[in-house]
């Protein structure tokens, strides 16, 4: 059929439409918020739904056209910003089986969540703000998925991160969500450093930052990259650092349960469905590197297994539904990271798509969890109480008590990070900040009639006066 013929021009148009539409809607909605008059919820909701539906239709067209074409991987050069004669910023998109799968999942889920949110957030004070961020997120996620270079992937990565932290702090007049947002922001910055390090190294080693040229013109599923194993190891470990931050892997997983303080639809979309899997997508895109380096693969396996065990044990003692689901998500994503270490890439894609759909449904159902539990309890009232599992009975009681205590405290990972990294860093920063203050204090004029040793500071003088 002629209308589904995939040419460079039609592919460019469709791929751009997928993420440009939400990109344009976000500032339009943002400008409406800043007006003095409160905009109507219906207009905001309809505009978002229309835009996301159009984006989904473009994605669908691209999928159908791609499936009927002979292309394995289609590189789309959109723009080339020449910064110097030798260096430019390539705006290149890549359409292949992996990116199309993730693009389609993102599009459909975004429309569903937008529809759900219109009713769920009705008359919430931040209704319009939420939809601005939703559009920014969808634009960022689609850009991340369709990116043909690490530079462009980083742009999408940042947009996803920004919308994520602003939605964690959605209930901005409460302290908990704001602290959660700051924690997520700091973790994301650590993740960004890892990704940027890796991207710069790839660009340096392969003289290209686009996936096709960097990894040897092979479409996905991947073949080993053409680079030394030692370099691949370093890049792989850096990528794992970024994945540990973005996809909440051990020991940087503490932010995800706290991120659940945001509105339920955003929790479902970000931390159940898409954002938390952005790290897995990065690993899948970078799979040729893990095929080269055994050390990086072992590191991925170790990271995934440790995360899965930790999250499973901690998740079992959580008392609220969203936290429990958060830890379940961390455990499943940990298994995906471990599978990347075992080079089971196709299995990871299947697992990821299935997990995205299941977790989205579970998180969207969470507000009704209490009623569900009551109904379930009523239905099972006649049955005998459930017995502890075989493993639980086998373990000595002292150990289970100890394990229970550790799980309740999340194995003290957050406290250890705080006392070993954050507090010493802030202490050093405070000491350094004293340098300027002390220098200025030594130049303060001494008040008449007092020696420098006894002169009061401004604060002391104010206290004495009061």
The residues of the shown chain that bind other proteins, judged by CB under 8 A, are 30, 33-34, 36, 81-87, 89, 151, 154-155, 158-159, 162, 165, 169, 172-175, 178, 181-182, 185-186, 189-190, 192-193, 196-197, 200, 203-204, 425-426, 428-430, 432-433, 435-436, 439-445, 447, 457-458
134, 48 Cβ separation under 8 angstroms: yes
Residue 361: C-alpha distances to residues 119, 247, 262, 365 (Å):
16, 19, 17, 6
Chain-centroid distance of CA 365 in Å reads 21
CB of 147 to other proteins, least distance (A): 11
Backbone angles phi, psi at 262, to 5 degrees: -75, 180
263, 167 Cβ separation under 8 angstroms: yes
Exposure b/e, 86-123, CB count within 10 A at least 16 = b: eeeebbbbbbbbbbbbbbbbbbebbbbbbbbbbebbee
CB of 176 to other proteins, least distance (A): 11
Q: Exposed, middle or buried: residue 57 (CB in 10 Å: 0-12, 13-18, 19+)?
A: middle
User: Would you say 73 or 243 has its CB closer to other proteins?
Assistant: 243
End-to-end CA distance of the chain: 85
User: Would you say 435 or 464 has its CB closer to other proteins?
Assistant: 435
Within 10 Å of residue 353's Cβ, how many Cβ atoms?
Answer: 15
User: Would you say 34 or 319 has its CB closer to other proteins?
Assistant: 34
User: Would you say 149 or 362 has its CB closer to other proteins?
Assistant: 149
CB of 67 to other proteins, least distance (A): 31
88, 151 Cβ separation under 8 angstroms: no
Give CA–CA dist 337/157, Å, rounded. Answer: 18
CB of 130 to other proteins, least distance (A): 14
User: Would you say 189 or 316 has its CB closer to other proteins?
Assistant: 189
User: Would you say 408 or 441 has its CB closer to other proteins?
Assistant: 441
User: Would you say 89 or 411 has its CB closer to other proteins?
Assistant: 89
Q: What letter does residue 455 receive in the DSSP assignment?
A: P
User: Would you say 166 or 407 has its CB closer to other proteins?
Assistant: 166
Give CA–CA dist 55/107, Å, rounded. Answer: 7
User: Would you say 182 or 344 has its CB closer to other proteins?
Assistant: 182
Give CA–CA dist 118/12, Å, rounded. Answer: 31
81 - beta bridge partners? Answer: 89
* Tokens 């260096």 sit on residue: 87
Give CA–CA dist 244/239, Å, rounded. Answer: 9
CB of 465 to other proteins, least distance (A): 13
CB of 414 to other proteins, least distance (A): 18
Q: Which residues, 6 or more positions from 24, have their beta carbon under 8 angstroms from its beta carbon?
A: 51
Alpha helices in 342-380 (DSSP H): 345-365, 369-379
3-class DSSP assignment, residue 174: coil
Give the closest residue to 77 by CA, choosing from 61, 89, 63: 89
SS3 content of the chain, % helix, strand, coil (to 5): 75, 5, 20
User: Would you say 391 or 435 has its CB closer to other proteins?
Assistant: 435
CB of 352 to other proteins, least distance (A): 25
User: Would you say 34 or 451 has its CB closer to other proteins?
Assistant: 34
CB of 237 to other proteins, least distance (A): 14
Residue 143: C-alpha distances to residues 147, 169, 221, 360, 446 (Å):
6, 24, 20, 21, 61
Exposure b/e, 387-420, CB count within 10 A at least 16 = b: eeeeeeeeeeeeeeeebeeebeebbebbeeeeee
CB of 361 to other proteins, least distance (A): 31
User: Would you say 175 or 386 has its CB closer to other proteins?
Assistant: 175
CB of 39 to other proteins, least distance (A): 12
What tokens were used for 371?
A: 């009623």
CB of 379 to other proteins, least distance (A): 42
CB of 151 to other proteins, least distance (A): 7
């Amino acid at each position: 059929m002629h209308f589904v013929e995939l040419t460079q021009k039609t592919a460019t148009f469709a791929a751009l439409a997928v993420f440009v539409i939400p990109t344009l809607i976000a500032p339009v909605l943002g400008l409406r918020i800043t007006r003095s008059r409160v905009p109507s919820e219906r207009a905001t909701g309809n505009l978002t739904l229309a835009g996301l539906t159009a984006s989904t239709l473009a994605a669908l067209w691209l999928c159908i056209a791609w499936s009927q074409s002979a292309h394995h991987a289609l590189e789309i050069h959109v723009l080339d910003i020449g910064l110097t004669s030798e260096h430019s910023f390539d705006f290149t998109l890549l359409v292949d089986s992996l990116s199309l799968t993730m693009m389609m999942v993102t599009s459909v889920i975004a429309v569903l969540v937008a529809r759900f949110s219109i009713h769920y957030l009705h008359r919430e004070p931040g209704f319009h703000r939420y939809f601005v961020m939703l559009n920014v997120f969808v634009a960022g996620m689609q850009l991340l998925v369709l990116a043909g270079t690490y530079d462009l992937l980083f742009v999408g990565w940042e947009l996803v991160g920004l919308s994520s932290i602003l939605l964690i702090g959605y209930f901005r007049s409460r302290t908990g969500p704001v602290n959660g947002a700051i924690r997520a922001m700091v973790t994301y910055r650590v993740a960004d450093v890892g990704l940027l390090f890796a991207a710069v190294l790839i660009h340096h080693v392969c003289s290209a930052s686009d996936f096709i040229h960097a990894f040897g013109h092979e479409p996905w599923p991947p073949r080993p990259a053409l680079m030394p194993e030692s370099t691949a190891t370093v890049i792989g470990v850096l990528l794992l650092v970024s994945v540990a931050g973005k996809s909440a892997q051990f020991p940087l997983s503490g932010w995800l349960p706290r991120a659940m303080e945001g509105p339920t639809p955003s929790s479902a979309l970000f931390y159940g469905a898409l954002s938390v899997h952005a790290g897995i997508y990065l690993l899948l895109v970078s799979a040729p590197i893990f095929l080269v380096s055994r050390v990086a693969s072992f590191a991925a396996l170790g990271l995934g297994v440790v995360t899965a065990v930790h999250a499973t044990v901690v998740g079992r003692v959580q008392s609220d539904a969203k936290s429990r689901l958060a830890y379940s998500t961390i455990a499943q994503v940990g298994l995906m990271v471990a599978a990347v270490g075992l080079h089971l890439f196709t299995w990871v894609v299947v697992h990821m798509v299935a997990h995205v759909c299941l977790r989205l449904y579970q998180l969207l159902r969470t507000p009704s969890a209490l009623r569900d539990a009551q109904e379930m309890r009523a239905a099972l009232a006649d049955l005998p109480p459930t017995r502890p599992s075989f493993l639980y009975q086998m373990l000595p009681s002292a150990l289970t008590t100890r394990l229970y205590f550790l799980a309740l405290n999340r194995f003290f990972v957050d406290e250890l990070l705080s006392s070993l990294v954050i507090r010493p860093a802030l202490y050093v920063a405070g000491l350094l900040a004293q340098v300027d203050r002390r220098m200025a204090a030594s130049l303060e004029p001494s008040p008449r009639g007092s020696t420098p040793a006894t002169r009061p500071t401004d604060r002391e003088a104010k206290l004495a006066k009061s």
